[in-house]
Amino acid sequence: MARESESGLPVEPVYGPGDLTGWDPAEKLGEPGGYPFTRGVYPSMYTGRPWTMRQYAGFGTAVESNARYRQLIAHGTTGLSVAFDLPTQMGYDSDAPIAHGEVGKVGVAIDSVEDMRVLFDGIPLDEVSTSMTINAPAALLLLMYQLVAEEQGVPAASLTGTVQNDVLKEYIARGTYIFPPKPSLRLIADVFRYCRAEIPKWNTISISGYHMAEAGASPAQEIAFTLADGVAYVRTAVAAGMDVDDFAPRLSFFFVARTTLLEEVAKFRAARRIWARVMREEFGARDPRSLMLRFHTQTAGVQLTAQQPEVNLVRVAVQGLAAVLGGTQSLHTNSFDEALALPTDRSARLALRTQQVLAHETDVTATVDPFAGSYAVERMTDDVEAAAVGLMRRIEDLGGAVAAIEHGFQKGEIERNAYRIAQETDSGERVVVGVNRFRLDAEEPYEPLRVDPAIEARQAERLARLRAERDTAAVDAALDALRTAARGEDNVLYPMKDALRARATVGEVCDALREVWGTYVPSDAF
Cα distance between residue 446 and residue 458, in whole Å: 28
Domain that holds residue 231: 37-427
Q: What is the pLDDT of residue 341?
A: 86
Cα distance between residue 352 and residue 349, in whole Å: 5
Q: What is the pLDDT of residue 1?
A: 55
Closest CA to 358 of 332, 340, 388: 332
Cβ atoms of 147 and 500 within 8 Å: the answer is yes
Residue 482 forms part of a structural domain: no
Cα distance between residue 365 and residue 400, in whole Å: 39
Cα distance between residue 102 and residue 94, in whole Å: 8
Cβ atoms of 328 and 365 within 8 Å: the answer is no
What is the reported pTM?
0.94
Question: In which residue ranges of the chain is pLDDT below 50?
Answer: 525-526
Residue 191 burial class via C-beta count within 10 angstroms: exposed 0-12, middle 13-18, buried 19 and up = buried
For the chain, the C-alpha Rg in angstroms (whole number) is 23
Q: What is the pLDDT of residue 525?
A: 43
Alpha-carbon torsion (327, 330, 359, 216), positive or negative: negative
Cβ atoms of 65 and 81 within 8 Å: the answer is no
Total structural domains in the chain? 1
Q: Is the peptide bond before 36 cis (omega within 30 degrees of 0)?
A: yes
185-224 confidence digits (pLDDT tens): 999 999 999 999 999 999 999 999 999 999 999 999 999 9
Residue 31 forms part of a structural domain: no
Q: What are phi and psi of 372, to 5 degrees?
A: -55, 130
Domain with residue 84: its CATH number is: 3.20.20.240
Coil, strand or helix: which one is 257? strand
Cα dist. 4→214, 379, 383 in Å?
20, 14, 12
Residue 182 forms part of a structural domain: yes
Residue 453 forms part of a structural domain: no
Q: What is the pLDDT of residue 516?
A: 98
What are the contacts of 303-306 at 24+ separation with CB within 8 A? Answer: 303/258, 303/259, 304/334, 304/336, 304/338, 304/339, 305/339, 305/432, 305/433, 305/434, 305/435, 306/339, 306/340
How would you list the strands of the sheet with 295-299, edge to edge? 202-203, 160-163, 129-133, 79-83, 52-57, 330-332, 295-299, 251-257, 205-208
Residue 52 forms part of a structural domain: yes
Cα distance between residue 102 and residue 232, in whole Å: 32
Residue 10 forms part of a structural domain: no
Residue 510 forms part of a structural domain: no
CA angle 51, 227, 2 (to 5 degrees): 85
Closest CA to 204 of 106, 89, 294, 111: 294
